[in-house]
Amino acid sequence: MAILDSGSLMDNESLCLPCTPDEEATIVKELTEKDESCVKEGNLYYVISNRWFVKWQKYVGEKSGKHVFKGLLTDKQATPLTKPAERPGPIDNTDIITQKDGRDGSDLQLHRTLIERSDYVLVPQVVWEKLHGWYKGGPALPRQMISLGIQKTLSVEVYPLALKVIDSRDKSEIIIHISKKASVRKLYEQVSALKRVDSEKSCIWDYFNDCKQTVLANSDQTMEESNLQMDQSILFDVQTDGFIPSGSGMDSTGNQLALVPIEPQRLSRTIAGGPSLSNGHGPDYGSSLYQGPTLDSVSADEEHTQDSERSGPERDRGLAGLQNLGNTCFMNSALQCLVHTSPLVDYFLQDYTDEINKLNPLGMQGEVAVAFGELLRKLWSSGRTTVAPRVFKGKLARFAPQFSGYNQHDSQELLAFLLDGLHEDLNRVKQKPYIETKDSNGRPDEEVANEFWSNHKARNDSIVVDVCQGQYKSTLVCPLCDKISITFDPFMYLSLPLPSTATRSMTITFFCGNGRSLPMPFTVNVLKQGYCKDLFQALGVACCLGSDETLILAEVYNHKIFRYLDNGELLHTIKDDECIVAYRLLKKQAEFPMLEICHRYLEDVKAGEGTRFLTPLVTFLEDARNGTDIELAVNRVLGPLKKKMFLSTSRSEGVKVNGSVSEATEESTSDCQLDTEVGDLFGDKELEETYSNELSLRLCLMDDRGMSGKSILKNSVVNPSKIVKVILDWTDKDHGLYDSNYLKDLPMIHKPGLTVKKTKQESLSLFSCLDAFLKEEPLGPDDMWYCPGCNEHQQATKKLDLWRLPNIIVFHLKRFSYSRFLKNKLDTFVDFPIHNLDLSKYVKNKDSCGGSSVYELYAISNHYGGLGGGHYSAYAKLVEEDRWYHFDDSYVTPVSEGDIVTSAAYLLFYQRVKTNKLNEPIGESSEVYEDI
């Protein structure tokens, strides 16, 4: 790969010369931005241990936890205010390497459980060369950018394909690593070179589950297209003079044969390109066919089952496990739930070829539907034999590259993709008409809902819509003009939050923006899963907030305001170790520009150099025209911090507002003295008279990056924007006048204390989760609604209601929460009914579901453990047996119905129960009720 030009900052800098932290940060940022502008397949990246990289981040002044290079600090003033970090030693990647005896750098492999940005980072080649030039060390771990799937999604191949090569001559085994984008011809060359055999005399088999599957043709077909899986075996054969390995797919002259089946085909007719089910298996089960240059057809069955194992008894139908192909338990769990969904089973066991839509631009040419259908057929025809879903995983990786690797993924994300993909591949609508959505405009809900549903069905008509799609009512209300918008949207699953019944204690420090009181911490209790609007409300009550007052909440980090909080932000995004402050201001001031004041201690007054300290202050600028007006506002908010001076004779003789006092004692003001004494000292009239000649405070404007700009003078012209940011430089003289201790050492949201042992597991009901999902709440700041009344984006309130229920309803329990830097899993126990789940009280339109709103549980996708290292399994009910089974990858075992309700439940699958004319459930049947 050609080395990119390092830019203007590199012109007079060599790898040998030391750089300052600021220079290193600037160089790396510039090189990274240049690389991002020309990302393409084949680019080389290097893996670096995050343990070392965090040390480098601290050294150059970057806040760890952010994106690797986003927001990289490049100036001295922006570095953290703690003692500068020491320069890290040589690059050390040994903690992430699992194979340390490789033949060369490219052969070094990483631990399989590593997580990007947590255990390692990826840097472009040019950045690696700079870092390695500065720090040396290593070892180097180069990885290539490849394109995955039909959409050619670019991704760095951190984990190349690992294959176990078994030599048929002596049964010896070696492990090789090869890119998923490498050709089979490259595989032949690599293996033949290791075995010191001419590649023309070599023969390599797909050797899956200790059985020969197909001969891999020496062609340009890629590893990805050949459906080879991580850690699987390949069998190496060598042709001797005139000898051809059994079933190798070549004739005596060495010419390839078109098709050489290992075992005879039994039946000729297949459905949707797959096996017939007349006797439990079809022509492609266990057949090892030489496919020539491609293996694209799902008829080439890599999901091998031995003939002796395929003749399972009829009573074992539906009890086949799915082999784990390398962290595919998430996929296996979701698949087992779907293949035990009765309407889908009935559909895919029949001939569905006429409904495959290969021309739908939103679909996947019907390939995903066919692959899923074939997999379902094998699972229902192979008795208890484990099936390896290699073809399905190959199709999945082709159309959804996000699932192409061997890392753990989310079963709900897979379910969402698969349901949508099946729908589009089986959409009976070949040409979707254009339909313009009409506003409700006060029309009856029934009329609007039916119109939306008809429009939806005109473009979307499939087995998935018939079985899995419902409809909910969405009501948006503009907070400014009260415009109401009502829509009726389809859904395939409901993602339910897990509201906590426990409260959370949060400590917030109050600052008065008008300078009328000292800073004071308040501790309030709010719901763990609440919103910032709940925190605003609790704080307002705690501090007796007036009707004419408002609060501004902000997070303070490194002595500056890191972000402002709004009503719609979730409270769980605020961590216990963060510092949150509240600024108390008058509502009428909100229309004026906001003044943000940061503090800096001048270590060298003449040079103007200093470090930031103390807590920022916020106030508003009313009719500010010049520098004097800004200083007046700063003095006003600093008022409570002014030190009182007492003389032995009289107060009036000893007080000088901006000077020192001899023979005086100093005290900080107290709460009871603020309104009189401090107010008298710092009235607006006296301030104006005192500072009429010159500014006594050293104030500088800040730019958008928080960097110090020019000094503010008396006659400086102010062009206030929405937020005016200034730096107040503190001198020894200022420390004598003001008590800065009140601005030091902000309390954290919650100080860790002794761990209290839980005496009772926190639990919720499924109904409380539904209530939380359907309650009215404000939209998030990143999800603003464009109001047609205001013609502006507004943070509207949103209310959801169920309108039309599907035959199959899936509940997704949102156990995974995400914030700026952290991911978390909630292990809260959710109590959900197995029988007779009645949703009637949640349905607004009682006639839309034919009078039936009772459901029966039939499958569960479970997640155990934490993020990254967790495990998925599934519970599914065989309706014919009325018995539950645990599907844990290859292992299928019966389970008691009383043991399936656990805190691991992640996806809940319910089926509508058929009712009689009196709307009463008929026994415990899970029979599908016909859609109305």
Look at the alpha carbons of 202, 206, 211, 213 in this order and tell me if their dihedral is positive or negative: negative
3-state per-residue secondary structure call for 720-760: CCCEEEEEEEECHHHHHHECHHHHCCCCCCCCCCCCCCCCC
Closest CA to 375 of 302, 289, 316: 302
360: enclosing H helix or E strand: none
What six digits make up the tokens of 494? 């409901």
Cα-Cα end-to-end distance for the chain = 62
User: Distance from CA of residue 484 to its chain's centroid?
Assistant: 32
d(CA 779, CA 784): 6
Q: What per-residue string of b and e applies to 624-639 under the rule 16 or more CB within 10 Å gives b?
A: beebbbbbbbbbbbbb
Active site residue 329: yes
Tokens encoding 859: 């499958």
DSSP state of 204: E
Give bridge partners of residue 586 from the DSSP assignment: 549
Q: With beta carbons less than 8 A apart as the criterion, state whether 800 and 791 touch.
A: no
CA 543 and chain centroid, separation: 37
Largest pairwise CA distance in the chain: 121
In the beta sheet, which residues pair with residue 161?
178
Buried b (16+ CB within 10 A) or exposed e, 93-102: beebbeeeee
Which residues in 316-381 belong to E strands, given as ranges? Answer: none
Distance CA 657, CA 621 (A): 23
Report whether 224 contacts 397 (CB < 8 A).
Answer: yes
Contact indicator for 817, 824 with CB cutoff of 8 Å: yes
Which residue blocks in 177-274 are alpha helix, DSSP H?
Answer: 184-195
d(CA 802, CA 207): 51
**Bond from prior residue into 593 cis (ω within 30 degrees of 0):** no
Residue among 132, 456, 750, 871 flagged as catalytic: 871
What is the distance between the alpha carbons of residues 222 and 534, in angstroms, rounded to a whole number?
55
Q: Checking phi first, is residue 676 left (phi over 0); if not, alpha (psi -120 to 50) or beta?
A: alpha
DSSP 255-312: PBPS---SS-------STTS---TTS--TTTT-----TT----TTS--S---GGGS--
What's the rounded Cα separation, in Å, for the pair 315 and 318? 9
Q: Which residue in the list 19, 329, 337, 543 is annotated as catalytic?
A: 329
Give the whole-angstrom CA distance, residue 99 versus residue 174. 14
| Three-state DSSP state, 551 | strand
**Cβ neighbour number for residue 502 with a 10 Å cutoff:** 10
Q: What is the DSSP letter of 516?
A: -
Tokens linked to 131: 């870092």
CB 896 within 8 A of CB 329: no
SS3 612: strand
b/e sequence 247-284, b meaning 16+ C-beta within 10 Å: bbbbeeeeebeeebebeeebeeebbbbbbbbeebbbbb
Beta bridge partner(s), residue 726: 597, 701
Q: Do strands 785-787 and 792-794 pair parallel, antiparallel, or not at all (unpaired)?
A: antiparallel
Does 871 qualify as catalytic in the annotation? yes
Q: Which residues are catalytic?
A: 329, 871
